[in-house]
A and B are shown apart, each in its own frame.
Chain A
Amino acid sequence: MSRTAVFILAGGVGKRLSLLTRYRAKPAVSFGGKYRIIDFTLTNCIRSGMDEVYILTQYISRSLVRHIGIGKPWDMDRMTGGLHVLHPHLGYQAADWYRGTADAIFQNISVLRKLDCENVLILSGDHVYLMDYRDFISFHRESGKPASVGVVDVPKGMTSEFGIATVDRAGTITRFEEKPKKSDGTLASMGIYLFNREYLVSLLNNLEVKHSDLDFGKHVIPHLVSKGMISAFHFEGYWLDIGTLRSYYQASLELLAERPRLGLYSWSAPVLTAPDDSPPLVVTREADISNSLICNGCLVRGRVRSSILSPGVRVEKGASVENSILFNECTIAAGAEVRNAIIDKGSVVGPRARVGFGDARVANQLQPAYLDFGVTIVGKRTAIPAGVRIGTNCLVGGTLDKGLVPKRDLPDGGYFIAGEMRP
């Protein structure tokens, strides 16, 4: 079997994740306590025997690049193959940002041309799933088509969020609708593609002339469907596109189920991530923990219920954390109460402060479309002073560095953002 090179699209802005993507790319957002979203795709790659991986970044890539480094945690620090980050770059003829998913690949077409491989696998850095891509590749070979797309079944009510494919008996896609208002089909594109490499090179060269913002979902797939050149590989495992705050919050807390759909607890095949030198979790006498995921480096002296704590979180005496997701190195001070909240890295909730209590029906004033489901978001390195009350559906983004903190209580749906923030 000849090699398959992998391109991972990791440049999206992830605007719907609001404050969580204000300082980092979406693939670098924390998930499941110790992971970043991109860990799942990188782990899938190495488990599937793919060690030549190109990651295309664009939006605030610093934390992402720092996380993946030279690919050591995934054994991708190699003499041959290995992991490479492709940033938008100046070229001899032209230079531009990546304007669409396929345009990002097109701008690196010289890399694609030089590769010594039969197929190219194009993945997204935003998905949470465990998949053996070798099944996908075998399917692709047998289909005889130059292109394949991974598809999953989605519930009837959610088809308007995906590209929906209609497939004939042979597996060839006969119809493809991007985010249809109504659809009979429930097979949604996962946004992962396999192409015959040479075919992809000529295809991108031809299509780029017509669309400068060339996009797989919008242009490339419909074009291939119209020519009957693409078939669908039906993936039956758990798959999640972290699209919105709501889906992020729900998918995270779903990990607390007795038998979560995402299998994190395999000893022989764990999900791989950048290592962390924290000591193990320390739990004191006063602590009371139940139904939670808690990482190394945490110190728990208070009450934790149905929550996820990333490495280095401190929950002090008399503090209470419930239905919340706390990113790395947060501190919940003595007597503070946090409920239904996502608290980003390095933030501090001061003594006796209360976060996330209130009426969930009041949507956020700044981003009502993203934040209306009864969760409060506290941005990175935000300090909530002692005794302050923050309601639900709130957005709070202060900065510890500049001492900008919300000094007064915030009602349900309120926001406090230091600096600029697009609605």
Chain B
Amino acid sequence: MMKHVELQQVGPSEWLLAQSEGMRVPGRIFADAETITQLQSDGAGRPEWSALRQVRNVACLPGIVGASLALPDVHPGYGFPIGGVGAFDVDEGVAVVGGVGFDINCGVRMLSTPLEREEVSPVIARLGEDLYETVPAGLGAKGKLRLSVAEIDQVLRDGAAYVIERGYGSKEDLAFIEESGRMEGANPDTVSDLAKKRQFGQVGTLGSGNHYLEVQFVDEVLDEQAANAYGLVSGRVVVSIHTGSRALGHQIGQDYLKEMAVASRKYEIPIVERELVCAPIRSPEGQRYLSAVACGANCAFANRQTIAHLVRASLVRVCGIDEARIRTVYDIGHNNAKLEEHTVDGERRRLLVHRKGATRAFGPGCSESPEPYRDVGHPTLVGGTMGTASYVMRGTAVGMERVFGSGIHGAGRALSRKKAAKRYWGETVISDLASSGIRVWAHSKRGIAEEAPGAYKDVERVVAAAEDAGINRAVARLRPLAVIKG
């Protein structure tokens, strides 16, 4: 067990990890007391696996500004904790591989429909079956869009816009995707041929693990003004797609862990942990990495855009609705590093904000949000578990000030996959969920056991902690009707 880490509660659901030797800033953890207790006991004899230690390690990196942050869904990751946010000064700071991870711009796309829950319930079996057949998922699944090297380069450069040109969705979607579905500065030359080749058959595939496709309904609207802006209506059906940059992102992560280890040595940056290898943001190595991250992010935008198109086709086929009435509510990633402007101690500063298992959550009035959402701030999409609820939330002025406009991304795991697979049986999880009205289609029963609702923290607690701390605000609670897992 890891040595107890001294934390001081400094606010509702807010804890301070005081600056100690090597730390350039303090750690600040936004979580409830139960999560803190769990974090203290995590590690099982391996202190390097502790999320609290990871918060501390991030605080040691050059140019970090404010604090090394962890949001309420925090749990152990590699390098950064999951739910970790680290902002770095562009002139003195570093770009950190572990601050983005392997699944670059993994995120959630949400589509709204004009359908009432009661209209979908009678056809839910057909819809689930159709989605299961239509959206490639699970280990080894290939997408319908087969691409050449030159076309992969276009995906990396142009993101969602490229697949829209190829007939997957409409240009109206772009306004409701973070960065309009295309991150600037994506130079495909910064991505290895191996990464591109691994991606040939994977654009438009869901993957496995915690990735999912869910047909949900709006169970309750909690913030009328924001829900109205987002077009969320109580009782209406929405679809959420959780996936990322697939093998391309994974290979970029693998490649740059090596390249940035060399850079760390070159720039004499002490590395407390291998996943925190980094390079100065303005260095050629740092710029190259950020360009590769932009490529990975664009690949993820294209991936979710392609799947969204397949989902629309399914909804039209099974429910007979007009495709134009299935609109993108938002598409937002939760593994990324972005150049942003923030006010720190009254001064506007340009920062590179890493969010690992955390979304951007810009509050009211920010010009980065889609125009119709500007008054309330853009939505953040918080994945729950197969058996509980998911949430739409939004950023707040407090969140802009305290956590660089960041948001929680999910419930956060509580049990390891090993423990979950031992405790739960895939078939039983599926039948239990069916008895509470949630249908599951899965490519892997073992995967279902690992992803059993009981393996996660209670999403309600996580959402409540974010609200208590004032950093995010709940807009609507969603409940699943049908779940497709890889």
Asked if A and B are interacting partners, one says no
B residues with a Cβ closer than 8 A to A are none
Chain A residues within 8 Å of B, Cβ to Cβ: none
